[in-house]
Amino acid sequence: MALATSTLTPAAASKPSWNPLKFGSTDLPTGLLIMVKSLALVLLLTNHVRILPDPWLPFVPGVDLIPPVLFQRTLQTVFIVSALAVLFNRHVRLASLVLGSTMLLAVLSSKAYYGNNKTFCGLMFFLTGLSAPGTRPFVRWQLGITYFGAGLNKLLDTDWHSGVFFEIWAVDRLHHSWYIALDSMLPPLFLGRLVCWTTIMTELGVVPCIFIRRLYYWAICANILFQSSLLLFTGTTFTLFFYSMTAASLAFVNWPEGPLHVMYDTRRGLARRARRTSELLDIEGKFA
Amino acid sequence: MRNLIALLLFGFQLGAIVYARFVPTRYFCWAPYDIQTDYVATATVDGNRLSGADFRQRYRRPARGFDNRSPRHLIDMFQQVEEKRAKLGEQARIVMKYRVNGKEEQEWRWPPQH
């Protein structure tokens, strides 16, 4: 029997690495760091910068007095620089704050760009940038408010009570073949009502799980399963919504800070191979 | 200070969730994909009917399509564009026919009919 141990090296913790796969060299909690890096990568890979707007019917009066090209180019430049900074461990907290502010400013400056998904993603960056030792768990609270708002709005909507909303969406817009087939075998609106009420109960039911520590496990499970079901059923990520909502689950995870002990049997080839693979993937150099 | 900024943000959102109960719009209250609006709109500016491309350029929306939020968001955009353009001396007429969640057809016109 052998013991493999991971250790934290003080040098790695003090000097930020340019390696985007290193997560131990900044002052952000590892869970939040993985979250903002994942989202920064999504923003870059989906080329989100191309849809950042010029000011058009802004929510904040006066923004449209700024020359549109100057506004848009500035927004795009700051957006890319701060996303790259997050990815490459350069002043991650500040870069996250700037990236979030850029997205929120974009949302406020154009009703054509406005969307819940962009607002939520911007808030994930902004609140992570705002987080510091001693502050409240902002990201978790934000997820709770988002689910509460979404659930309450549906709960007070008669088309969600009756199932009409989902029936129209699945049949007329998504033309979902298995939904249509199943729906035809059931009483009218039964399936629509079932999905609508399941959605309402999930969205409102997850709220207490988000705020009560011993229910975090259920918050993570419900959040990821619910968002994944939406993705699989509709075939869309709702721009940034799927990525941002699932990534927010990382705010509930306490990453291990101390050494991790892994017991394994040296006589077993599979265990030895697993150790070699782990060492190959151990970019942080924590696996002794 | 950080806590205060975050609390103000959360307070704003909770306010928006409550405010949404009293108005037809659904801005900043976390109501994504809660309403299906399908619509067809036509616009005439200074007597000339806009083509599909012109319509999209003017309103940043297609003349026919779907929106996954309150129809009031579409109306807001059309109305605010025309309120701004009216100051430049342009006279536009818009007719939008729309259905909310597949129900009976409704109509919205600009300028408002009294």
Q: pLDDT for A38-66, tens place per residue?
A: 999 999 999 999 999 999 999 999 999 99
Task: Please name the residues between 232 and 261 in chain A that touch chain B, using a CB distance below 8 Å.
Answer: 238, 241
pLDDT at residue number A7? 38
CB atoms within 10 A of CB A117: 19
- What is the residue-wise DSSP string for chain A? -EEEEB---HHHHHS--S-TT--SSSSS-HHHHHHHHHHHHHHHHTTGGGGPPPPBS-SSTTGGGS-HHHHHHHHHHHHHHHHHHHHTTSSHHHHHHHHHHHHHHHHHHBTTT--HHHHHHHHHHHHHHH--TTS--HHHHHHHHHHHHHHHHHHT-HHHHHSHHHHIIIIIIS--HHHHHHHHHSSTTHHHHHHHHHHHHHHHHHHHHHHSGGGHHHHHHHHHHHHHHHHHHHS--TTTHHHHHHHGGGGG-----S--EEEE-TT-HHHHHHHHHHHHH-TT--B-
Q: What pLDDT digit, counting tens, does each position of B56-112 carry?
A: 999 999 999 999 888 999 999 999 999 999 999 999 999 999 999 999 999 999 998
Q: Does B60 touch chain A (CB under 8 A)?
A: yes
In a domain, A143, yes or no: yes
Tell me the two tokens of residue A261: 């002990």
Q: Does B87 touch chain A (CB under 8 A)?
A: no
- Min Cα distance B54 → chain A (Å) is 16
> Could A150 and B31 be called an inter-chain contact, meaning their C-beta atoms sit closer than 8 Å?
yes
Top mean-pLDDT range of A12-21, A121-130, A167-176: A121-130
Spatial neighbors of A246 by CB under 8 A, at least 6 apart, are A223, A224, A227, A228
Q: What's the whole-model pTM score?
A: 0.90
Q: Does B3 touch chain A (CB under 8 A)?
A: yes
Is residue A8 very low, low, confident or very high in pLDDT (cuts 50, 70, 90)? Answer: very low
In a domain, A202, yes or no: yes
Tell me the two tokens of residue A253: 């995870």
Chain A contact set for B14 (CB, 8 A) = 145
Instruction: Give me the interface pTM, i.e. the ipTM.
Output: 0.92
Amino acid at residue number A128: T
Q: What pLDDT digit, counting tens, does each position of A190-218 carry?
A: 999 999 999 999 999 999 999 999 999 99
CB A179 within 8 A of CB A171: yes
User: What average pLDDT does this structure show over A235-262?
Assistant: 87
> Could B77 and A112 be called an inter-chain contact, meaning their C-beta atoms sit closer than 8 Å?
yes
Q: What pLDDT digit, counting tens, does each position of A117-165 carry?
A: 999 999 999 999 999 888 889 999 999 999 999 999 999 999 999 999 9
CA dist B54 and A91 (Å) reads 45
Apex CA A115: angle with CA A113 and CA A120, to 5°? 125
**Model confidence at A95: pLDDT above 80:** yes
In a domain, A276, yes or no: no
CB A204 within 8 A of CB A147: yes
Q: What pLDDT digit, counting tens, does each position of A101-119 carry?
A: 999 999 999 999 999 999 9
Domain region containing A243: 136-254
CA dist B102 and B47 (Å) reads 32
pLDDT at residue number A277? 85
Tell me the two tokens of residue B13: 């959102």
Q: Does B20 touch chain A (CB under 8 A)?
A: yes
pLDDT at residue number A287? 65
In a domain, A18, yes or no: no
Is residue A282 very low, low, confident or very high in pLDDT (cuts 50, 70, 90)? Answer: confident
> Could A160 and B34 be called an inter-chain contact, meaning their C-beta atoms sit closer than 8 Å?
yes
In a domain, A163, yes or no: yes
Report the residue from A116, A164, A173 with minimal CB separation from B66.
Answer: A173
More confident residue, A10 or A83: A83
CA dist A48 and A118 (Å) reads 10
In a domain, A232, yes or no: yes
- The angle that helices A92-109 and A30-45 make with each other, rounded to 10 degrees, is 50
**Domains: count for chain A:** 1
User: What average pLDDT does this structure show over A249-266?
Assistant: 80
Is residue A26 very low, low, confident or very high in pLDDT (cuts 50, 70, 90)? Answer: confident
In a domain, A180, yes or no: yes
Kind and range of the H or E run holding B18: helix B2-19
Is residue A17 very low, low, confident or very high in pLDDT (cuts 50, 70, 90)? Answer: confident
> Exposure pattern of A30-44 as b/e (b: 16+ CB <10 Å)?
bbbbbbbbbbbebbb
